[in-house]
Structure 1
C-alpha cells in the first residue's frame, strides 16, 4: 500500500505546442491558406515559376509519353499554385499552362491553330482546371469560416469559464458573509443554547462557502473524490486553528463524483473531521488524523480515523443528540450510502466511515 499526498490541481491549460507534425499545426496552417494574401506579387511570381518548371519538365519528356498527355505536368502546377496562393495566381498559372500546352504539345505543333481535336483537348483542360480551382477556393473559404467559428467558440468558452468561476466565488463569499452576520447576531444573544446554535450555523455556512469555491468546472465535469476530500480536510483542519494536529491522507482507490453529490459528501467528511477535532482531542493540542479513500463492496468508502479519547461508553450513533452527527447520517442516506462511527480497533481513538455508491475509476488499488 502506497501512501501519498495529492498535489494541488492546476487549472491552467497549457498551450498547444507548435509541433509541425501535430494535427493542430496542420489545422492552423490550412486555415491560413491562401498564403501571402497581403503580398499578391509572391503568389503570381510562384505561378510564373511553376508554369516554367512544368513546361520544362514536359518539354524534356517530349515523345517519351504516348499521345494524349499534353497536360500531364501542367495540372500539378495549377493545383499547387491555387492551393497555396489562391484563385488569382491559380487562374494565371492555368491560363499560361494552357497556352504553352496548346502551342508546344497539341497538334499542329508550334502554332495556335484551332481544329476540332485541339478545341476538344483545350475544352477538357479548361473544364478540369476550373473544377480544381473552384473546389480549392471553396475549401479555403470553408476552412477560414471554420477557423473563425472555432476562435469564437474558444473565446465564448473562456468567457463562460471566467463568469462561472466568478459566480461560484461570489456564492461562496455570500455564504461566508451570511455566516459572519450570524456570528454578529450571536453576540446579542444571552441564551447559551441559542448562542451555540448560531455559532454552529455560522461554522457550517463558512464550510459550505469554502466547498462552493472548489466546484467551479463550468462543463459539469465530475470531481475526483481523492483530490476533493484531501483539500476539504486540509481546509477544515486549517480553519480549526489547531497547529499541533498531524494529518495524513491515504488513497487506496479513487472515484469520481458528480457535482450534486460533491457537497453532501464533503459535508459528511467535514462533520466527521470536526467531531474528531472538537470531541476526540478536546483541549489536547496534538493528535493524528488519518483520512483514507478505499474500495468497499462495489462502492467507495471514506474513513476518518483519529487517536483521540474515543467514543463515550455506550455510544449509539442512531441516538446521538449532536446536530452535526444527525446531519451527517441524513446526508449519507441521501447519497445512497451509510455513515457509521466506532471505536478504533487498536488503541484509543474513533473511526468514522462514509460508504457511498460511487464506482471506482482506474485501478481499484494503488500499490
Structure 2
C-alpha cells in the first residue's frame, strides 16, 4: 500500500487526456466547496468567507498543478467576495474587503508556491530514482556477464588440462592434472551459482545439496545416500561461500573415494549449523569403512586434505578429519560466521 501511494505521488500533478478536463475538475471542486460554505452559513458567526475555499485551492494545486491552482484561487476568491464578504451579492470595495482579499491572496499564493516546489522536488527525486534503477540494472547485467565469462574461462582451462592430461604418460601426473581440472570446473560452477551483485549472503543448503549430488553423479555413486542438513534461514557471506563449498566438495569426494568401495553402499551426511558464539560448524560424516589403521590427523599426505587445510585457514578456521560415531569418517570445519 505504501509503495502504491509513493507511485501515485510521483505522478503528480496529474496529466489528464485534455487540458480542459483539469479545469473542469477544478470548477467542480470549487462548486462543491461553495455548496458546503452555503450549508455552513447559518452555523457560522459573521466572517469566515474563505473557510471552505482554501481546501479547494490546495487540492487543485496538489492534483493538477500551478495553473489549475491559480484558476481555483481566482474562482474561489470571486465567490467569497461576491457572496460572503459584506456588502454581500456585490463586488463592493472598502478597506475591510481589501484587507480580507489581501489576506486571501497571500495565503493561497504561499500554498500554491509550496505545493509547486514540493512537486518539483518530488519530480526530480523520481527522475533520479529512475536513473539509479537503470544504473543498477546495467550494473547487474555487467556483473552477470562478467561472472559468466569468468566461469566460462575456468571451464576452458579445465578442458585444456583434461586435453593435456591425455598426452602425459606418468600415471601420477595424469591423476594430478585430472584432479586440478575437476577442481577448476567445480570453482567455475560454484562461482556462477553463488555471487550476487549486491554482495549479500545466500541460502547455502540448496547449493550444498546440488554440489553433493553432482559429485555423486561424477563419481558414479548414485547408490550412496546423501543427506544435507542446513537451517533454511542460514545465510553465509558471499566471499565465504566458495572456500566452504570447496571444503565440502573435498570432504564428500574423499568419502566417495576412501569410504566406499565399488560394492559397498552407505550414506553421507552433510550438516552445517551456526552456534550461539557465532561459529559455523560443518560436519561431513559417512558410515563407510572408516579411517585406515595408524591414520595420523596431523600428517596431510593427501593433496585434497592439504587443500582443505589451506581453505580452512582462509576462513580463519580449522579443518579436521576424525572417526565418526557410525564407524566411518567425519570431516569437520569450524570457522567464524563473520571474518
> What pairs up with 1:95-106 in 2 under 5 angstroms?
95-106=74-85
Hey, what's the Cα distance between the residues in 2 that align with 1:196 and 1:42?
80
Provide closer, same or farther for how the CA distance between residues 314 and 25 of structure 1 changes in structure 2, counting only shifts above 3 A: same
Q: CA deviation at 1:258?
A: 2.1
Structure 1 residues 158 and 125, CA, compared in 2 at 3 Å: closer, same or farther?
same
1:34 has 2:13 as partner: yes
C-alpha distance 155-284 of structure 1, shift in aligned 2 (>3 A): farther
Larger RCO (alpha carbons 8 Å, 6+ apart): 1
Match of 1:346 among 314, 326, 330: 326
Asked if residue 289 in structure 1 is aligned to residue 268 in structure 2, the reply is yes
Partner secondary structure for residue 143 of structure 2? helix
Q: Return the TM-score normalized by structure 1.
A: 0.86
Q: Secondary structure of 1:353's partner?
A: strand
In structure 2, the residue matched to 1:300 is: 280
CA contact 1:36–1:42 (8 Å) conserved in 2: no
Provide Cα deviations, 1:138-158, integer angstroms capped at 9, x if missing partner: 222222222222222222222
1:321 paired to 2:301: yes
- Give the drift of 1:225: 4.1
Show the counterpart of 1:138: 117
- The unaligned stretches of length 5 or more in structure 1 are 1-21, 360-367
Task: State the Cα deviation string for residues 197-224 of structure 1 (Å, max 9, x = none).
Answer: 1111111111111111122211110233
Q: Which residue of 1 aligns with 2:49?
A: 70
- 1:150/1:241 Cα in 2 relative to 1: closer, same or farther (>3 Å)? farther
Distance 2:201 2:317 in 1: 19
Alignment partner of 1:293: what SS?
strand
Q: From the superposition, tell whether residues 196 and 61 of structure 1 become closer, same or farther in structure 2 (CA, over 3 Å).
A: closer
State the aligned residue count. Answer: 337
Task: Choose the corresponding residue for 1:187, options 152, 156, 166.
Answer: 166
- Aligned-pair distance for 1:260? 2.2
Task: Name stretches of at least 5 consecutive residues in structure 2 with no aligned partner.
Answer: none
2:237 is equivalent to residue 258 of structure 1 = yes
Deviations 1:284-311 (A, max 9, x none): 3633111112345831211111122211
- Distance change (3 Å), C-alpha of 1:96 and 1:234: same
Question: What is the aligned partner in structure 2 of residue 121 from structure 1?
Answer: 100
The CA distance in 2 between the partners of 1:245 and 1:27, in whole Å, is 54
Deviation at 1:74, TM superposition (A): 1.0
| Pick aligned residue for 2:131 from 152, 156, 163 | 152
Runs of 4+ in 1 over 4 A off after TM superposition: 252-255
Partners of 1:227 and 1:215 in 2: CA distance: 11
